[in-house]
Amino acid sequence: MNARAFALVAAMSLLAVVPAPAAEPPIVVELYTSQGCNSCPPADRMLRDLAARPGVLALSFHVDYWDYIGWKDGFAQPAFTERQRAYQRVLGARYVYTPQAVIAGAAEVVGSDRAKLEAAIRSARRPSVAITHESGRLRVAGGKEGPATLWLVRFDSHHEVDILRGENGGKRLAYAHVVREWTRLGAWNGAALDLALEPPAGQPSAVILQLDGPGAVLGVYRFDRAS
């Protein structure tokens, strides 16, 4: 083997043992939407696009305050409405509305305004607290911010729904990443945290570390996809 060939083999061997850099944790985009809102389908389509994008965790939170106009949203939960109202207070919005997108827990835009939504995603602060999972243990690194809460979110990949009444009556609407469960795992005060947690079976899910308020998202780990 000549010197040039030897150098090439050595370089390839070095590349083989150097681990690939870890992917950056995704930006969380929450869409507050309703099957009874005739302004929401364009935002729901945009969320479907975001759900397929690397580097974004897109979540569809269905609220219940439009149920009175003729169609009950089967995905809506009062807790999601309360979460949106909490954002209203923290972010200084005049009222709750649909479709509303909240980006990284720190900014809000009209959920159907693609230009503003994309700009907010580009300018959003990436989660900085590392969260890992191995052998049934979830580990959250230490950090300087807090207090915060660790949440488990479970969501469905895709749904298509025939809307029979209300503002969207007669339409078949498609939804992605519909949130079905939002569960508190515990508090985080800036110290490293280690707890037992088995990956939820049969449903995409993620763990989100968020400043209390709710405030900025500090960390994200997805079980169904590398964060």
Each residue's pLDDT tens digit, 148-176? 999 999 999 999 999 999 999 999 999 99
Cα radius of gyration (the chain): 20
Question: 22 falls in which pLDDT band (50, 70, 90)?
Answer: low
Q: What pLDDT is recorded for position 199?
A: 83
Return the pLDDT at 200: 81
In whole angstroms, what is the distance from residue 199 CA to residue 57 CA?
17
Mean pLDDT (the chain, rounded):
90
Position 11 pLDDT exceeds 80 = no
Distance from the Cα of residue 172 to its chain's centroid:
24
b/e burial code for range 161-190 (CB count within 10 A of at least 16 → b): bebeebbbeeeebebbbbbeebeebeebee
Q: Across-strand partners of 161?
A: 173
**Among 58-67, 109-118, 164-173, 193-202, the least confident range:** 193-202
Please, is 98 exposed, middle or buried when counting C-beta atoms within 10 Å of its C-beta (0-12, 13-18, 19+)? buried
Give pTM, 2 decimals.
0.88
